Amino acid sequence: MPYQVLDRYDLAITLLVTIGYQLVAFAIAFSLKFDKITDFAGATNFIFVALLTLLLPLPQEHPNARSIVASILLIVWATRLGLFLLYRILQTGRDARFDDKRDKFFPFLGFFVFQMLWVWVVSFPVTILNSAAVRHRSGLESFGSGRDIAGVVLWAVGIILETWADLIRMRWRSTREETGKAVCDLGPWKWSRHPNYFGEILIQFGIFMIAISPAANGYVHGQAFNALYASILGPFFLTVLLLFVSGLPLQERPSAKKQYEKGGDTWKQYEAYLHKTSILLPLPPQIYAHLPKFVKMLLLELPMYQFDPAKHADDKKNDDEESGLRQN
Same domain? For 324 and 219 the reply is: no
Residues 214 and 327 in one domain: no
Domain assignment of residue 105, yes or no: yes
Q: Please indicate, yes or no, whether residues 242 and 252 belong to a single structural domain of this protein.
A: no
Residues 192 and 280 in one domain: no
Statement to judge: residues 161 and 283 lie in one domain: no
User: Is residue 323 very low, low, confident or very high in pLDDT (cuts 50, 70, 90)?
Assistant: very low
- Does residue 312 lie within any of the structural domains? yes
Top mean-pLDDT range of 91-95, 99-103, 188-192, 251-255: 188-192
CA-based radius of gyration for the chain: 23
Does a structural domain hold residue 1?
no
How many domains is the chain partitioned into structurally? Answer: 2
Helix, strand, coil content of the chain in percent (nearest 5) = 75, 0, 25
For residues 14 and 53, the answer to whether their CB atoms sit within 8 Å is yes
SS3 of residue 278 by DSSP: strand
Residues 230 and 94 in one domain: yes
Q: How far is residue 71's CA from residue 127's CA, in Å, rounded to a whole number?
A: 9
Which tops the pLDDT comparison, 179 or 249? 249
d(CA 248, CA 254): 10
4 occurs within a structural domain? no
Residues 173, 289 within the same domain: no
Based on the domain organization, do 163 and 288 belong to the same domain? no
**Phi first, then psi: what are they for 36, rounded to 5°?**
-70, -10
Closest CA to 127 of 15, 240, 2: 15
The pLDDT value given to residue 139: 62
Q: CA-CA distance, 257 to 188, in Å (whole number)?
A: 23
| Residue 143: partners with Cβ closer than 8 Å, 6 or more residues away | 64, 65, 66, 69
Phi, psi torsion values for 325, nearest 5 degrees? -65, -40
Beta-carbon contacts of 260 under 8 Å, excluding residues fewer than 6 positions away, are 267, 270, 307, 309, 313
Task: Check whether 322 has a pLDDT greater than 50.
Answer: no
Report pLDDT for 325: 33
User: Does 3 fall in a domain?
Assistant: no
Pairwise pLDDT comparison (1 vs 21), residue with the higher score? 21
Q: What is the SS3 assignment for 286-322?
A: HHHCCCCHHHHHHCCCCHHHCCCHHHHCCHHHHHHHH
Picking from 185, 217, 246, the residue at the C-terminal end of a domain is 246
**Each residue's pLDDT tens digit, 94-139:** 888 888 888 899 999 999 999 999 999 999 999 999 998 888 776 6
Cβ–Cβ < 8 Å for 120, 38: no
Confidence category of residue 320, pLDDT binned at 50, 70, 90 = very low
206 and 320 belong to one structural domain? no
Most confident of 210-219, 272-281, 313-322: 272-281
Q: Give the pLDDT of residue 315.
A: 52
> Which of residues 246, 271, 293 is at a domain's end?
246
6: left (phi over 0), alpha (psi -120 to 50) or beta: left
Query: Considering the domain boundaries, does residue 222 fall inside one?
Result: yes
Residue 318 pLDDT exceeds 50: no
Asked if residue 70 and residue 131 are part of one domain, the reply reads yes
Which domain does 80 fall in, by range? 11-246
pTM exceeds 0.85: yes
Q: List, as one string, the DSSP characters of 213-250.
A: HHHHTTS--HHHHHHHHHTTHHHHHHHHIIIIISSHHH
Q: What percentage of the chain reaches a pLDDT higher than 70?
A: 94
Cβ atoms of 66 and 210 closer than 8 Å:
yes
Which segment, 136-140, 228-232, 268-272, 321-325, is predicted with the most confidence on average?
Answer: 228-232
CB of 209 within 8 A of CB of 231? Answer: no
pLDDT digits (tens, 9 = 90+) for 262-305: 888 889 999 999 999 999 999 999 999 999 999 999 999 999 99
Q: Is the pLDDT of residue 321 over 60?
A: no
Contact 3, 59 (CB under 8 A): no
Residue where a domain stops, chosen among 194, 228, 246: 246
State whether 111 and 192 are in the same domain.
yes
Residue 15 CB: number of other CB atoms within 10 A? 20
pLDDT of residue 175: 84
- Mean pLDDT over the full length of the chain: 90
SS3 100: coil
Check whether residue 200 and residue 282 sit in a common domain. no
Quick check: is 2 in a domain? no
Whether 5 is in a domain gets the answer no
